[in-house]
């Protein structure tokens, strides 16, 4: 249950701070750290919650954008990056990048020294 709640919170907070595009794009690293800090799960679980929460958010958001756009831009970017023009590969890469950041941020939060763990 904790795990599910964590995933949801990672995604929700990352989305919320992402709405403010005048702030740095990586602000969700902070929110994911905070989520893991307070949810207090094992480091491994925290990592996966962050990975899945942010990763699913990123992959989900861009899949929506990409479908509405009929893969027009993603196919072009997937040639620049270079992913052989595959929009699916680009969506996966996007999800993994978001996921890794969310995961490591959560891991850091989980390891954060706090009074209660002493």
Partner 1 sequence: MQISGLAFNYKNLYYLKKNLNFSAQSIDMRIVPFIISAALTTGLVAVLNTPLSVGKTKTPRLGYFLSPQQGFWQNAEPENKSFDANIVVDGLQDKVEVLMDERLVPHIYANNDNDAYYTQGFLHAKFRLWQMEFQTYVAAGRLSEIVGPDRIATDRFFRRLGMLEGAEATMKKMANNPALQAAVTSYANGVNAYIKSLQPSQIPFEYKLLDYKPEAWTPIKTYLFLMFMSYDLTGRGTTTDLQMTNSKNYFGYEDFNKLYTNVQDSLDPIIPKGTLYEKASVAALAPASLDSLYFAKTSSVAPNAPEAPNKNNGSNNWAIAGTKTKSGKPILASDPHLGLNLPSLWYEVQITTPTHSTYGASFPGSPAVIIGFNDSIAWGVTNAGRDVLDYYDIKFKDTTMEEYWFNGAWQRSVIKEERIKIKGQPDSIDRVAITALGPVMYDKSYNANGSDGKYLAVRWTAQDGSSGLQTFYELNRAKNFDDYMSAIHHWTCPGQNFAFASVSGDIAIKQQGAFVARWNRQGDFIMPGQDSSYLWQGMIPASENPMMKNPERGFVSSANQMSTDSTYPYYLGAANAFPLYRGIIINKKLNAMFGVTPLDVQALQTNNDNIFAEMARPAIFKFLNESSLNADEKKYLGYLRNWNLRNDVDEIGASVFRAIWDSLEVAVWADEFKSAALPLQWPDESTLLEQMLKDSVILFEDNITTPNVRETMVDAVTAAIKKATPQLAQMEKDGTLAWGAYKDTRVNHLLKIPSLSRLHLPIGGGVHIINATTGNHGPSWRMVVHLVDGIEAYGVYPGGQNGNPGSKYYDSFIDSWAAGKYYRLLFLSKEAAKQNSQFKWRLTFTNS
Residues engaged in binding partner 1 (CB under 8 A)? 15, 18-19, 21-22, 24-26, 29, 33, 43, 57-58, 61-62, 65-66, 68-70, 72-77, 79-80, 85, 93-94, 97-98, 100-101, 104-105, 107-108, 111-113, 117-118
Q: CB-wise, 1 or 50, nearer to partner 1?
A: 50
CB 10 within 8 A of CB 49: yes
Q: How far is the CB of 73 from partner 1 (least distance, A)?
A: 3
Report CA Rg, the chain.
16
> CB atoms < 10 A from the CB of 80, how many?
9
- Which one-letter DSSP state was computed for residue 56? H
CB 113 within 8 A of CB 65: no
**Who's near 95: CB < 8 A, 6+ residues apart?**
55, 56, 58, 59, 62
Q: CB-wise, 1 or 84, nearer to partner 1?
A: 84
Q: How far is the CB of 74 from partner 1 (least distance, A)?
A: 7
Q: CB-wise, 12 or 26, nearer to partner 1?
A: 26
């Amino acid at each position: 249950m904790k795990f599910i709640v964590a995933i949801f919170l990672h995604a929700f907070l990352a989305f919320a701070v992402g709405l403010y595009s005048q702030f740095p794009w990586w602000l969700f690293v902070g929110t994911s750290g905070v989520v893991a800090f307070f949810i207090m799960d094992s480091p491994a679980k925290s990592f996966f919650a962050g990975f899945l929460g942010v990763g699913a958010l990123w992959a989900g958001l861009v899949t929506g954008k990409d479908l509405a756009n009929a893969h027009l831009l993603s196919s072009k970017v997937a040639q620049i990056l270079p992913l052989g023009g595959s929009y699916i590969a680009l969506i996966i890469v996007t999800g993994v990048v978001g996921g890794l950041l969310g995961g490591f941020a959560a891991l850091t939060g989980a390891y954060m020294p706090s009074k209660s763990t002493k």
